[in-house]
Structure 1
């Protein structure tokens, strides 16, 4: 996506607490804490001017919360395959839901790998990534590797992933309020295929229709020929960048 932004733009992609370069940043975790971190970062980077904000997947929910917490800090909001409330029936076993939806990711967090190449091969077997493998996907994967020789592992902390995942599943009312109260130009880009590269998509058509198309400031566009990951790690990244730039125009 960064390669398709205008030359005069600066792109900052912060790692959330418990992940990447922020893996050792202490908790508490949770979507509200991440949103507060984003608002603080926008204050530091914006120099008194609003900045453009985007987030993908869970990052879209965090970006949405940040826009609700500090609306004056941002001049546009782009949600990429995330950000809409997820219906979860009362009494649902949240950890069971996470195990079902994030199964391969959670397995990865518990395992160690003898080499970086072995870690890469684990990702190449992912049905949403392997068939579309390219240099960007491999760079994305290799950035996540840490640990001693012979026991390489993901930088992400499972406790952070689970905490944030449970938060995501129980915050539908928070997201609904944030969407209803949006006061910046906002666009949702959604992929037709989901976490495993197949239908159903991450965001069902009925949910997209409910929250967009004339309801408040949020509008939507389906990014064809993409799944939950390749919407940013494939040819669709150009579309995402172009919509992001044009959003406040």
Structure 2
């Protein structure tokens, strides 16, 4: 992995192949979310991931945040590494929505949305902040906590329902990368303000996501996990929602990835291998 900073934005390149994938992480994640997939890419490929503003080693970048700002950063990173229309663009979770916005502005060889990217309209009577708290409660709580040692933070993640039966060296590297702060008061690098602002944008601007998806000219596919953020039996993007959007968008190819949850779709060996295959094949 080769790292560099672009105007305060940390980017990492995995591999050295001439064919490039630009990858975007989720709402409280980091570029290390893509390491397991990157390691499974075939020869001739490389994957460029970034820490979005307010996360990882880009945490010091100030707001305002919001997904359009992240989409601009994605395109800036693509320009920096010389990734043109022959590159593949992908995003996981919130990163899939960012990828959709970026792909609406520029053509790519293909766009692969991983367990995200489909609009989920907010009911008219719902309060965005209450919905956000209910949806991201565990993640937001983590951002406010401190931990005495790295091992305590690792243990915290090991108890997470999504990872309880799926721990690996890749997950541990992802978790340790996220830590910052002094001994005895370690915390996540992700800024709570950035997570809340981006989460609220997702809830109130679903129409802009739908419009972006409809305007994408590149081949577009969706990989979904059948289980959710807490490993529950209903995925983040249920079958009915996927069916609604594939009916609206005939160019959207939908695929359910068996036996994974919202997180392990990028970490579990079989799931990460399938994601790597779909990123590098024209299927």
Taking structure 1 as the reference length, the TM-score comes to: 0.95
Higher mean C-alpha deviation, range 35-44 or range 56-65: 35-44
Higher mean C-alpha deviation, range 34-43 or range 154-163: 34-43
**Aligned pair 1:13/2:49, yes or no?**
yes
> How large is the Cα RMSD of the aligned pairs?
1.4
Residue 176 of structure 1, CA deviation: 1.0
Partner of 1:13, secondary structure, is strand
1:237 to 254, 265, 272: 272
What runs of 5+ residues in structure 2 fail to find an aligned partner? Answer: 1-36
Q: Give 4+ residue runs of structure 1 displaced > 6 Å after superposition.
A: none
For the 8 Å contact 1:137–1:233, the answer to whether it is kept is yes
Residue 46 of structure 1, CA deviation: 2.2
The answer for the alignment partner of 2:169 in structure 1 is 135
For residues 189-212 of structure 1, what are the alpha-carbon distances to aligned partners after superposition, in whole Å with 9 as ceiling and x for unaligned?
Answer: 000000100122100111101112
Q: How many aligned residue pairs are there?
A: 246
Structure 1 residues 48 and 177: CA distance shift in structure 2, 3 A: closer
For the 8 Å contact 1:182–1:217, the answer to whether it is kept is no
For residues 109-164 of structure 1, what are the alpha-carbon distances to aligned partners after superposition, in whole Å with 9 as ceiling and x for unaligned?
Answer: 00110000001111111101111111111111111000001110000000000000
Structure 1 residues 227 and 90: CA distance shift in structure 2, 3 A: same
Partner of 2:42, secondary structure, is coil
Distance of 2:133 and 2:85 partners within structure 1: 41
Residue 222 of structure 1, CA deviation: 0.2
1:56 to 89, 92, 96: 92
The answer for the alignment partner of 1:70 in structure 2 is 106
Higher mean C-alpha deviation, range 145-154 or range 198-207: 198-207
State how 1:34-183 maps to structure 2 within 5 Å: 34-46=70-82, 48-71=84-107, 74-183=108-217
What runs of 5+ residues in structure 1 fail to find an aligned partner? Answer: none
State how 1:182-221 maps to structure 2 within 5 Å: 182-212=216-246, 215-221=249-255
Higher strand share: 2
Residue 50 of structure 1, CA deviation: 3.5
Distance of 1:50 and 1:187 partners within structure 2: 16
For the 8 Å contact 1:189–1:222, the answer to whether it is kept is yes
Higher mean C-alpha deviation, range 187-196 or range 87-96: 87-96
For residues 48-79 of structure 1, what are the alpha-carbon distances to aligned partners after superposition, in whole Å with 9 as ceiling and x for unaligned?
Answer: 554211000000000010000223xx211000
Distance of 1:241 and 1:159 partners within structure 2: 32
Residue 184 of structure 1, CA deviation: 0.3
